[in-house]
Amino acid sequence: MFPPETRILVVDDMPSIRDLVKSHLKAMGFKHIQEAGDGEEALRLLIQSNTPSSKIQLVISDWNMPNMKGIDLLKHVRTNAEWTNLPFVLLTSEAERDQVTEAVLAGASQYIVKPFSAKIFEDKLKTAFQKHFKA
Ligand SMILES: [Mg+2]
């Protein structure tokens, strides 16, 4: 599982979903959580924090957002050599369920269909971690 010091970026256009995700993360012991309201803001934060001491180490992003969707944020992230192995978990609604193949091909570490339980959330993060850090 990701260590508690992991710097996490939570991206969703709905403040209530960001709060929900943050509360799950805090309950799991994570302390370094940043948030963004859309993909553009997330990309700016990723670029700004791209130093060894502040580098974001996990992105949890909604799919459907204004300005830049989660899938497009993911594609941007994966085109940058710095971020090819950055764990990236997509939050999707039922409506995007048919598009998850696109997400997998684009390099999503995991996807979580909303609404989700704390247990599912934690399990998906564990799987995402294993995918990146355990051969
Ligand atoms: Mg949304």
As for how many domains the chain has, the answer is 1
As residues whose CB is below 5 A from the ion ligand 1, the structure lists 13, 62, 64-65
Task: Give me ligand 1 centre to Cα 17, in Å.
Answer: 9
Sign, CA dihedral 43-45-46-48, equals positive
Task: Give me ligand 1 centre to Cα 80, in Å.
Answer: 24
The answer to the question of residue 64 being in a domain is yes
Task: Give me ligand 1 centre to Cα 59, in Å.
Answer: 15
Task: Give me ligand 1 centre to Cα 70, in Å.
Answer: 9
The answer to the question of residue 12 being in a domain is yes
The answer to the question of residue 2 being in a domain is no
The CATH number of the domain where 47 resides is what? 3.40.50.2300
What is the rounded CA–CA span in Å between residue 134 and residue 130? 5
Q: Is 60 exposed, middle or buried (0-12, 13-18, 19+ CB in 10 A)?
A: buried
Cβ–Cβ < 8 Å for 93, 64: yes
Residue 36's H or E segment, with its range, is strand 32-36
- Residue-range definition of the domain harbouring residue 11: 7-133
Secondary structure (3-state) at 52:
coil
Residue-level pLDDT at 134: 80
Task: Give me ligand 1 centre to Cα 62, in Å.
Answer: 6
Q: Both ends of the chain: CA-CA distance in Å?
A: 14
The answer to the question of residue 1 being in a domain is no
Cβ–Cβ < 8 Å for 67, 39: yes
Cβ–Cβ < 8 Å for 114, 17: yes
Task: Name the packing angle between helices 118-133 and 15-27 (round to 10°).
Answer: 70
Task: Give me ligand 1 centre to Cα 1, in Å.
Answer: 26
The DSSP secondary-structure symbol of 121 reads H
In this predicted model, what pLDDT tens digit does every residue of 62-100 receive, in sequence order?
Answer: 999 999 999 999 999 999 999 999 999 999 988 887 888
In this predicted model, what pLDDT tens digit does every residue of 27-50 receive, in sequence order?
Answer: 999 999 999 999 999 999 999 999
Task: Give me ligand 1 centre to Cα 52, in Å.
Answer: 30
